[in-house]
């Protein structure tokens, strides 16, 4: 039963989580990597009304299924402003993940255990960073967590067939978000092994339920069919070869080939152990204290601990077996590892050594930010010169360095003030760091990171002319002001440039080329162009038809 004290604790936890995760929303536009691409795809879906086949510019975009883009569109439908809308799906998904983590742990053990599990997830660096980005991962984590939650509600606390079917349906939604949503169904493997071995904590589901179990498969397939069936029907009946190419790219290259023969982000088998140690801080600090407790739970055959933990280990093995690895791949493990840690975290955090190590970590972070800020304010260290050059900051502006110095000083002051309460000091200092840093940098770096400033200047220089984008990135098309044209994204840069020159020659008074510096060759005379500026470490130029070299003119004169 939920008492007033528990309600207050729950309210304050989720209020703090909302502030921490929501800080910075509305203060910036999408930043690379990924954010401009996903928002551009969603915006083009909204503008065109084609919700089955995502596009990036003129080309079909087959790298990801469309559910996340639908969610971006739904957020825009509510607030009607892409600057506010594009981070809302990640925020909602993160908050939902925290609730699912809390609620499953509460049902398995207690309210306090549930709070500690949710705190462990919220405190994780990787979770915080991903939840504050417009990437697909927070949404996929939410669907996978809901999937395992539904299965666990059934096999550990059931029978609860409706929750089992909801879990399977959520796994299907995860598939049409990023393909790996099926991982939630792996929770049935440790359940089957534990039932065979007679472990404690499993629900009595009775016999003769084959039809109900098969309902899970139907729910899983039904969720996928929401998009897959109309997409396949359209692709096979439209007669459009691009639709068939889209199906082949999505179903084969971006799934099976990407897993078995990854062409980028190759890492050794043990890579994710390094990710857990570094990117799951400060939660990973508790692991040395948790391992003995998990060992004892294994010996006791406690399915409440080892069903979520066993599932997490299967996910770890699955991603470790692929040569292509990125740190966020294992983020879906985190909520269930936190569930398995929930009943022990209050005892772990009571350890003096744990508190000392945690406080030392926060102090080191405070010193690092304070020291970096002061060093930049006092001189011109190499990191200051590099960051200012890459992020378009004026060398005479010290706002960013004041922000770092003040943030670091505030963290250190908090640690001194609550030095006898390491948990409170760490929580306040880390919350302060996240809120101030993400909000401050959103304001200071947005013009450069989003390409908003360089696109505005390009439009101003071109006047009423249409900009033709060559060697463009998604943020350039997304932030374009006024009419634009593009000549393909995946097309080789030299082909884009030739197409752009022919396009500009067709109406030289009304068209200009907006070209990335790395794409320039002898066909455009740089001395006759205008340097527009930089964005995301790329330099951009504007050219009129008079800059076309004679030998490259399509008209021949």
Extents of the domains making up the chain: 31-349, 364-449, 452-552
Angle at 504 between CA 498 and CA 508, to 5 degrees: 150
* Percent of the chain clearing pLDDT 70 (strictly above): 97
pLDDT at 264: 60
Say if residue 1's pLDDT is above 70: no
- Average pLDDT of the chain is 93
pLDDT in tens, 369-397: 999 999 999 987 888 888 877 777 777 78
For residue 33, whether the previous peptide bond is cis, meaning omega lies within 30 degrees of 0, is yes
| pLDDT tier at 247, thresholds 50, 70, 90 | confident
Whether residue 517 contacts residue 540, with contact meaning beta carbons closer than 8 Å, is answered with yes
Query: Quick one: average pLDDT of 156-179?
Result: 96
Give ∠ CA 23-145-247 in degrees, rounded to 5.
Answer: 95
pLDDT digits (tens, 9 = 90+) for 287-330: 999 999 999 999 999 999 999 999 999 999 999 998 888 999 99
Q: Which of 309, 313, 284 is nearest to 298 (CA)?
A: 309
Please state the separation of Cα 398 from the chain's center in Å.
30
Of 47-51, 111-115, 248-252, 276-280, where does mean pLDDT reach its minimum?
248-252
Contacts 24+ apart (CB under 8 A), 53-57: 53/231, 53/234, 53/243, 53/246, 56/474, 56/489, 57/477, 57/486, 57/488, 57/489
What confidence score (pLDDT) does residue 393 get? 79
**Residue 259's pLDDT band (cuts 50, 70, 90):** low
Average pLDDT estimate for 158-186: 96
How far apart CA 249 and CA 235 sit, in angstroms, is: 13
pLDDT, tens only, 456-467: 999 999 999 999
Of 218, 135, 148, 149, give the one whose Cα is nearest residue 177.
135
Give me 335's structure tokens.
Answer: 């909520």
pTM for the whole thing? Answer: 0.94
Q: Which CATH class is domain 452-552?
A: alpha beta
What pLDDT score does 262 carry?
A: 55
Rounded to an integer, what is the distance from CA 499 to the centroid of its chain? 35
Say how far apart CA 364 and CA 180 lie, in whole Å: 37
Instruction: Write the secondary structure of 6-53 as one string of H (helix), E (strand) and C (coil).
Output: HHHHHHHHHHHHHHHHHCCCCCCCCCCCCHHHHHHHHHHHHHHCCCCC
Distance CA 41, CA 43 (A): 5
Burial (0-12, 13-18, 19+ Cβ within 10 Å), 263: exposed
């Amino acid at each position: 039963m939920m008492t007033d004290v528990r309600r207050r604790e729950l309210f304050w936890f989720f209020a703090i989580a909302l502030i921490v995760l929501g800080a910075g929303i509305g203060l910036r536009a999408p930043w690379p990597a990924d954010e401009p691409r996903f928002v551009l795809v969603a915006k083009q879906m909204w503008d065109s009304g084609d919700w089955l086949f995502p596009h990036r510019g003129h080309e079909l975009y087959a790298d990801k299924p469309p559910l996340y883009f639908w969610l971006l569109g739904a957020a825009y439908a509510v607030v009607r402003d892409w600057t506010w809308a594009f981070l809302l799906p990640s925020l909602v998904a993160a908050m939902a993940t925290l609730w699912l983590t809390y609620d499953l742990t509460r049902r398995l053990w207690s309210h306090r255990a549930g709070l500690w599990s949710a705190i462990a997830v919220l405190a994780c660096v990787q979770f915080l960073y991903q939840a504050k980005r417009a990437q697909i991962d927070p949404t996929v984590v939410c669907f996978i967590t809901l999937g395992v939650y539904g299965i666990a509600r059934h096999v550990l606390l059931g029978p609860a067939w409706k929750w089992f079917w909801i879990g399977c349906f959520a796994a299907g939604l995860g598939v049409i978000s990023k393909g790996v949503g099926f991982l939630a169904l792996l929770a049935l493997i440790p359940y089957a092994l534990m039932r065979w071995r007679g472990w404690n904590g499993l629900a009595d589901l009775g016999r003769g339920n084959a039809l109900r179990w098969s309902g899970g498969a139907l729910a899983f397939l039904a969720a996928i069919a929401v998009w897959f069936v109309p997409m396949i029907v359209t692709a096979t009946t439209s007669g459009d070869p691009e639709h068939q190419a889209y199906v082949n790219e999505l179903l084969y290259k971006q799934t099976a080939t990407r897993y078995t023969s990854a062409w980028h982000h190759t890492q050794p088998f043990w890579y994710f152990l390094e990710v857990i140690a570094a990117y799951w801080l400060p939660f990973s600090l508790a692991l040395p204290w948790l391992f003995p407790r998990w060992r004892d739970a294994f010996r006791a055959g406690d399915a409440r601990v080892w069903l979520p933990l066993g599932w997490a280990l299967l996910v770890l093995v699955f991603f470790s077996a692929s040569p292509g690895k990125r740190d966020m791949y294992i983020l879906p493990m985190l909520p269930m590892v936190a569930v398995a840690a929930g009943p022990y975290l209050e005892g772990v955090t009571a350890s003096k050594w744990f508190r000392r190590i945690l406080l030392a970590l926060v102090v080191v972070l405070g010193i690092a930010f304070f020291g970096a800020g002061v060093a930049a304010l006092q001189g011109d260290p190499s990191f200051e010169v590099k960051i200012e050059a890459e992020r378009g900051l004026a060398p005479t502006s010290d706002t960013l360095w004041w922000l770092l110095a003040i943030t670091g000083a505030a963290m250190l002051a908090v640690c001194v003030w609550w030095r006898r309460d390491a948990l409170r000091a760490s929580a306040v200092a880390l919350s302060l760091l996240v809120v101030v840093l993400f909000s401050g940098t959103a304001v200071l770096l947005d013009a450069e990171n989003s390409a908003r400033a360089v696109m505005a200047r390009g439009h101003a220089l071109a006047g009423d002319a249409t900009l033709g984008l060559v060697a463009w990135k998604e943020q350039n098309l997304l932030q374009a002001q006024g009419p634009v044209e593009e000549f393909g994204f995946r097309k080789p840069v030299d082909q884009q440039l030739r197409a752009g020159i022919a396009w500009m020659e067709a109406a030289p008074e009304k068209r200009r080329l907006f070209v990335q510096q790395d794409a320039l060759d002898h066909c455009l005379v740089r001395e006759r162009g205008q340097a527009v500026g930089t964005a995301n470490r790329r330099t951009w130029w504007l050219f009129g038809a008079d800059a076309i070299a004679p030998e490259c003119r399509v008209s021949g004169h």
